[in-house]
Structure 1
Amino acid sequence: MSLPELNLVRPPLAAEPGYDHGWFPYSPLPARRGPSAGQAGQTGLALSVIVDVRAAEWESHAPAVGVPGGRGLAPYPDFPRMSHREFGHRVGVFRLSAILREAGIPWAAALDVLTAEHYPRALSLLQDEAAEILAGGLSGSRAITSRMSEAEEDHYVAQTMERLEGALGARPRGWMSPEGSQSFRTPAILAANGVEYMADWANDEQPYAVTGAGDLWSLPVFWELSDLSAMFVRGVGPEAYASAVLEAVDVLAADSIGSPRMLCLHLHPWVSGEPFRARAVRDLLVELASRTDVWWAAPGVVVEHGRKGQR
Structure 2
Amino acid sequence: MALNNDYLDYPLRRHGYDHEHYAWSMLSDRAPVTWPEGKTLAVWINISLQFYPLNQRGKPFKVPNGMTMPYPDLRHFSLRDYGNRVGIYRVLKALAAHNITPTFAMNAQLAEQTPYLVQRLKEHGGEFIAHGWNMDHLHYGGLPIEEEAELVKRSVETLQRVTGQPVRGWLSPAKHQSFNTLDLLAENGIEYCADWVNDDMPYVCHQQPGHNSAGSVTMMPLATEIEDQFVMSQNLHSEDAWVTQVKDAFDFLLEESQQQGGRLFALNLHPWLVGQPHRIACLEEVLAHISGHSAVWQAPAGDILDAFNAAQCHAKGATR
- Give TM-score scaled by structure 1 length: 0.89
Query: Is contact 1:198-1:219 (8 Å) kept?
Result: yes
Q: 1:161 is matched with which residue: 156, 161, 177?
A: 156
Larger Rg: 1 or 2?
Answer: 2
Counterpart for residue 55 of structure 2: 59
Closer, same or farther in 2 for the Cα pair 1:114/1:28, shift >3 Å?
Answer: same
Change (3 A) 1:162 1:83: same
Q: Which string of whole-angstrom CA distances, capped at 9 and with x for unpartnered residues, describes residues 233-257 of structure 1?
A: 1122222211211111111111112
Alignment match, 1:136: 131
Contiguous gaps of at least 5 residues in structure 2 = 1-11, 208-212, 314-320
Distance 1:293 1:262 in 2: 12
| C-alpha distance in structure 1 between counterparts of 2:19 and 2:25, whole Å | 14
Structure 1 letter corresponding to 2:270: H
> Quick one: which amino acid aligns to residue 298 of structure 2?
W
Q: CA RMSD in A?
A: 2.0
Alignment of 1:202-217 (within 5 A): 202-212=197-207, 214-217=215-218
1:166-204 C-alpha deviation (Å, 9 max, x unpaired): 111123111011110101121111111110100111110
Q: Secondary structure at the match of 1:256?
A: helix
The SS at the match of 1:244 is helix
What is residue 84 of structure 1 aligned with on the other side?
A: 79
Query: Whole-Å Cα distance in 2 between the matches of residues 130 and 210 of structure 1?
Result: 29
- The yes-or-no answer on 1:38 pairing with 2:35 is yes
**TM-score under structure 2 length normalisation:** 0.87
- Distance apart, 1:279 and its partner CA: 0.6
SS for the counterpart of 2:279 is helix
Task: Measure the CA separation in 2 of the matches of 1:58 and 1:64.
Answer: 17
Residues 272 and 91 of structure 1: is their aligned pair in 2 closer, same or farther, counting only changes over 3 Å?
same
Matches within 5 A, 1:6-45: 18-19=16-17, 21-35=19-33, 37-39=34-36, 41-45=37-41
Following TM superposition, by how much is the alpha carbon of 1:17 offset from its aligned partner in structure 2, in angstroms?
A: 5.1
Closer, same or farther: CA 308–211 of 1 in aligned 2, 3 Å: farther
1:66-215 aligned at under 5 Å gives the runs 66-69=62-65, 73-212=68-207, 214-215=215-216
Identify the residue that residue 11 of structure 1 maps to in structure 2. none
Query: Are the structure 2 counterparts of residues 241 and 289 from structure 1 closer, same or farther at C-alpha, using a change threshold of 3 Å?
Result: same
User: Partner residue of 2:303?
Assistant: 301
Change in CA separation of 1:62 and 1:43 when aligned onto 2, cut-off 3 Å: same
The answer as to whether partners of 2:205 and 2:219 remain within 8 angstroms in 1 is yes
C-alpha separation in 1, matches of 2:188 and 2:216: 12
Tell me, yes or no, if the aligned pair for 2:205 and 2:217 is still in contact at 8 Å: yes
Cα distance in 2 for partners of 1:125, 1:279 equals 22
The alpha-carbon deviation at position 42 of structure 1 amounts to 2.7
Say which SS state the counterpart of residue 249 (structure 1) adopts. Answer: helix
Cα gap change, 1:52 to 1:185, in 2 (>3 Å): same
- The answer as to whether partners of 2:56 and 2:136 remain within 8 angstroms in 1 is no
Inter-CA distance 272–20: structure 2 relative to 1 (3 Å threshold): farther
Partner of 1:290: 292
> What do the CA deviations read for 1:116-138 (whole angstroms, capped 9, x no partner)?
11122221122111410101111
Cα separation, partners in 2 of 1:68 and 1:252, compared to 1, 3 Å:
same
**Cα pair distance change 1:233/1:175, threshold 3 Å:** same
Unaligned runs of 5+ in 1: 1-13
Aligned residue pairs total 296
Using the TM superposition, give the Cα deviation of residue 62 of structure 1 relative to its aligned residue in structure 2, in angstroms: 7.1
Matched, 1:234 2:232: no
Q: Deviations over 1:24-81 (max 9, x none)?
A: 122211221242x322x232111110000111112355757523338x6122111222
Identity across matched positions, percent:
29
Aligned pair in 2 of structure 1 residues 34, 189: CA closer, same or farther (>3 Å)?
farther
Distance in 2 (alpha carbons) for counterparts of 1:220 and 1:61: 28
Q: Secondary structure at the match of 1:310?
A: helix
> Is 1:270 paired with 2:272?
yes
Q: For the residues of structure 2 that align with 1:22 and 1:77, how far apart are their CA atoms?
A: 45
Q: Distance in 2 between matches of 1:17 and 1:77?
A: 52
Structure 2: distance between partners of 1:294 and 1:108: 17
